[in-house]
């Protein structure tokens, strides 16, 4: 497999050399003098340098943009983490409040039951007092008759 890759690379390199030679041969026919050829090549070099500078500027702009995006992502990640911790804290507080409310409801129900029992006791005692008063009145009435 390694030999195949090496052979493919050698083939590609030979093809590039061959294309370069054809291009050189073509330039010889295209220009009348070396000066014309050199002027044309200088123009091409300048165009390639301008294109390279433009691409480098674009690349630097993209790198700056990427850097800004990374900073933004880091900032957003911090915000998300802060909000997650805040949410956990609020959930914990909500659980504590729920337990407190449940405890207060339990105490309210116990007190309501106790109040009902006390009213029942008061009612029974009131009935007994009324019966005792009635019995006392009857006894006093019977005593007066006799």
**What is d(CA 54, CA 47) in angstroms, rounded to the nearest whole number?**
10
Q: Determine the pLDDT at residue 16.
A: 84
Query: What is d(CA 23, CA 20) in angstroms, rounded to the nearest whole number?
Result: 5
In this prediction, residues 10-26 reach a mean pLDDT of 80
> Both tokens of residue 13?
């390199």
Residue with the bigger pLDDT between 5 and 22: it is 5
pLDDT at residue 26 tops 70? no
Contact between 40 and 31 (Cβ < 8 Å): yes
Q: Report whether pLDDT(28) > 80.
A: no
* Least confidently predicted of 5-14, 20-29, 47-56, 81-90: 20-29
Q: How many CA atoms lie within 13 A of 71 on its CB side?
A: 6
pLDDT digits (tens, 9 = 90+) for 55-74: 999 999 999 999 999 999 99
Q: What is the pLDDT of residue 27?
A: 58
In the predicted structure, residue 52 carries a pLDDT above the cut 90: yes
Q: What is the pTM of this model?
A: 0.46
Q: Which of 138, 116, 137 is nearest to 124 (CA)?
A: 116
Q: Report the C-alpha gap between 54 and 45 in whole angstroms.
A: 14
Mean pLDDT confidence for 64-88: 97
């Amino acid at each position: 497999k390694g030999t195949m890759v090496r052979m493919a690379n050698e083939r590609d390199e030979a093809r590039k050399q061959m294309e370069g030679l054809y291009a050189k041969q073509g330039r010889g026919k295209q220009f009348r003098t070396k000066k014309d050829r050199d002027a044309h090549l200088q123009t091409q070099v300048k165009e390639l340098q301008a294109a390279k500078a433009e691409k480098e500027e674009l690349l630097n702009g993209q790198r700056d943009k990427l850097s800004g995006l990374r900073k933004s992502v880091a900032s957003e990640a911090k915000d998300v983490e802060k909000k997650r911790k805040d949410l956990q804290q609020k959930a914990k507080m909500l659980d504590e409040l729920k337990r407190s409310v449940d405890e207060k409801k339990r105490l309210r129900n116990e007190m309501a039951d106790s109040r009902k029992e006390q009213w029942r006791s008061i009612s029974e005692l009131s009935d007994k007092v009324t019966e005792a008063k009635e019995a006392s009145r009857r006894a006093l009435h019977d005593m007066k008759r006799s």
